[in-house]
C-alpha cells in the first residue's frame, strides 16, 4: 500500500527560489565561502528588514562579538540567542530580523552571540565562546542594563545544539537557566538521517557540517557532542520546535521524548509542511511569524516571577 504524499507548503517552493543553492557536501568543501555569501546575500529577501526595537548595540563580551537588542520594557530576565548554520554559516546579520522579532514578542533584551565558525575554529570554539558570553552577562551585564538572572537560552539548528549543551553545563555548575528553547536543533552526531526528499537541507550537507565542527579525533559519544547521551535530569523547562520536512525532525523529537522521560517539563511542536530554517525567513513563511510569537510567549512564561519562587 502506497503512502500518501507529504504536504509541502507552497511557500517552501517559493523559498527555494530566493536563495540559489550552493552544493556543500564532504566532497565539495571548496564551496564553503560561496555558501556563506549566498546566505548573506539572500538575508534581506528571506527575512526582511526586521522590526524596530528600542535599542540595538554591538558589544564585545569577554572577546566575543555580540549584539544586544533591548525592548522598551522593564521586565526582568535576559534571552541569550545562538544562531544556526551548521556551525559554519550565519552571523549576527543573517539572524538580525529573527532576534528583533524575539525581542519584540518576548519584551525582553536579547543578547545574540557571534561565536567563531568551523572549520576554521572547530569544536569546542563555539561552545567556549557561548560560555564566555554567558559568563560576561552574569559578571558585567548590569553595566549595560541587563539582568544576569534569570536567563533563557534560545538556539536554532546548530545553535540549538549549543544551547542545550550549555544549559546542561550550567546545571552541572549550579548556575541553572530558566529555560531552553530549541528550534529544529541538531542533536545526534550519528547523522542517520531519514531517506527523504531534500527540502533545503540535505543529509550530505549535514554530514559536512558535522565533519567541519567535530575534529577527526573528537569523541562523538561525549555529551558535549551527543546530547542524547547526557544525564538529562535537572535540565530547565524546554520548548522544542521542529519542521515537518527536515532531516533533523526525528532527532529533535527524540530529544523531546528523552527530556519528557527524564521527568522534565517539555513541549514539542511540529510545523507541518515546512522545512528547516523557516523560522528566520519572516518575509517568506507565514509560519515564521507564528513561530516567533510562540517563542516569545514561551520566553515570557519562563521568565515570569512566579516560576522562580
40 C-beta neighbours (distance < 10 Å), count: 14
Are 195 and 263 in contact, with CB atoms under 8 Å apart?
A: no
Orientation of helix 32-47 relative to helix 10-18, angle to 10°: 130
Q: Among this protein's residues, is 72 annotated catalytic?
A: no
For residue 119, say if its preceding peptide bond is cis, omega within 30 degrees of 0.
yes
Q: Among this protein's residues, is 157 annotated catalytic?
A: yes
* H or E element at residue 130: helix 125-140
d(CA 152, CA 237): 10
Query: What is the per-residue DSSP string for 240-278?
Result: EEEEEE-TTHHHHHHHHHHHHHTT--EEEEEEEEEETTG
d(CA 243, CA 274): 5
Orientation of helix 125-140 relative to helix 158-172, angle to 10°: 60
Q: Among this protein's residues, is 301 annotated catalytic?
A: no
49 C-beta neighbours (distance < 10 Å), count: 12
Chain-centroid distance of CA 244 in Å reads 17
State the pairing for strand pair 64-70/238-245.
unpaired
Catalytic residue selected from 114, 156, 224, 246: 246
- Name every residue whose Cβ is closer than 8 Å to that of residue 120 and which is 6 or more positions away in sequence: none
State the pairing for strand pair 179-183/151-156.
parallel
Catalytic residue selected from 129, 157, 224, 244: 157
Are 240 and 256 in contact, with CB atoms under 8 Å apart?
A: yes
Q: What amino acid positions are annotated as catalytic residues?
A: 157, 246, 276
Amino acid at each position: 500500500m502506497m503512502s500518501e504524499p507529504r504536504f509541502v507548503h507552497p511557500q517552501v517552493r517559493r523559498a527555494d527560489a530566493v536563495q540559489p543553492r550552493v552544493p556543500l557536501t564532504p566532497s565539495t568543501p571548496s564551496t564553503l565561502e560561496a555558501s556563506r555569501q549566498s546566505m548573506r546575500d539572500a538575508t534581506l529577501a528571506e527575512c526582511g528588514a526586521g522590526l524596530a526595537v528600542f535599542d540595538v548595540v554591538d558589544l564585545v563580551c569577554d572577546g566575543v562579538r555580540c549584539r544586544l537588542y533591548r525592548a522598551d520594557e522593564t521586565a526582568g530576565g535576559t534571552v541569550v540567542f545562538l544562531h544556526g548554520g551548521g556551525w559554519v554559516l550565519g552571523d549576527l546579520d543573517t539572524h538580525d530580523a529573527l532576534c528583533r522579532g524575539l525581542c519584540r514578542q518576548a519584551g525582553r533584551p536579547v543578547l545574540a552571540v557571534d561565536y567563531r565558525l568551523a572549520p576554521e575554529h572547530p569544536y569546542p570554539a563555539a561552545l567556549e565562546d557561548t560560555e564566555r558570553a554567558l559568563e560576561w552577562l552574569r559578571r558585567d551585564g548590569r553595566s549595560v542594563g541587563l539582568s544576569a538572572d534569570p536567563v533563557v537560552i534560545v538556539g536554532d539548528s546548530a545553535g540549538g545544539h549549543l544551547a542545550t549543551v550549555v544549559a546542561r553545563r550550567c546545571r552541572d555548575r549550579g548556575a541553572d537557566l530558566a529555560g531552553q528553547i530549541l528550534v529544529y536543533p541538531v542533536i545526534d552526531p550519528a547523522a542517520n538521517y531519514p531517506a527523504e526528499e531534500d527540502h533545503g537541507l540535505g543529509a550530505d550537507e549535514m554530514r559536512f557540517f558535522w565533519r567541519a565542527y567535530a575534529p577527526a579525533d573528537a569523541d562523538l559519544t561525549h555529551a558535549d557532542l551527543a546530547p542524547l547521551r547526557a544525564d538529562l535530569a535537572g535540565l530547565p523547562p524546554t520548548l522544542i520546535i521542529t519542521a515537518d520536512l527536515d532531516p533533523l525532525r526525528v532527532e529533535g523529537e527524540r530529544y523531546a521524548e528523552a527530556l519528557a522521560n527524564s521527568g522534565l517539563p517539555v513541549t514539542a511542536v511540529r510545523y507541518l509542511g515546512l522545512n528547516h530554517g523557516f523560522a528566520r525567513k519572516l518575509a517568506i513563511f507565514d509560519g515564521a511569524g507564528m513561530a516567533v510569537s510562540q517563542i516569545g510567549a514561551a520566553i515570557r512564561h519562563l521568565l515570569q516571577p512566579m516560576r522562580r519562587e
